[in-house]
Each structure stands twice: as C-alpha cells, then as structure tokens.
Amino acid sequence: MRSVFAAAGFAALTALAAPSALAQYDDYDGLPPGENRDLVFAYCGACHSNRIVAQQGLSRERWDDLLVWMVDEQGMYPIDEPDRTQVLDYLSTYLSEDR
C-alpha cells in the first residue's frame, strides 16, 4: 500500500529545505537590502536592535545629526572615515524621509 504519510513527509522535508527570503531579510532586523548594509548592521546593532534604525526615515542632514547625538549623548564610539560616510550613504539612501 502506498502510504499517504510518506508523501506528506516528503512534502514537509522539501518545505524545510526551501530557501526562505523572509528569514534572510529578518537576519538584518528589517534593514532593507542595499550597499553598506553590513556596515550599518554591525555599527548600529551593538546597543539596540537595528529595528529602531529600520523604522526611521530621515534626511541625510538629520541622520548626520542623529549620529552626532548617538556619540554625544548615547555613548557611541565616533565612527571613523570612510565608514562614517558609508553609513550615512546607506541611511540616507535606503532609510530616507520619503521612502
């Protein structure tokens, strides 16, 4: 007798093996894909979830102000160049005020 359970088991295994785009996206706490995302993920996830970064939408100038505030008031180490500019590039491109 051909088992219906065997067939169901196979389907479940295939589902597990399928790559999940959602899981990959989640690995970055909701930061959208884009150039320099790894850098932002590393610098900005040290103290808090990157989710609070991903939720923001600001102009380049306001992101710049926020980085200053993060250093002056929240204890973040100043980010050296060229990294700082690249972090700012990512933030103002992929998390801009009018996205």
* Burial (CB count <10 Å: 0-12, 13-18, 19+), residue 39: middle
47 binds ligand HEC (CB under 6 A): yes
Per-residue x/- mask for ligand HEC, residues 2 to 41, rule CB under 6 A? ----------------------------------------
* Burial (CB count <10 Å: 0-12, 13-18, 19+), residue 81: exposed
User: How many residues lie near ligand HEC (CB under 6 A)?
Assistant: 15
Cα 12 to Cα 57: distance, rounded to the nearest angstrom: 40
70 binds ligand HEC (CB under 6 A): yes
67 binds ligand HEC (CB under 6 A): yes
Min separation Cβ 23 and ligand HEC, Å? 24
| Omega prior to 82 cis, within 30 of 0 | yes
Amino acid occupying residue 92: S
List interacting residues with ligand HEC (CB under 6 A): 43-44, 46-48, 52-53, 56, 66-67, 70, 74-76, 87
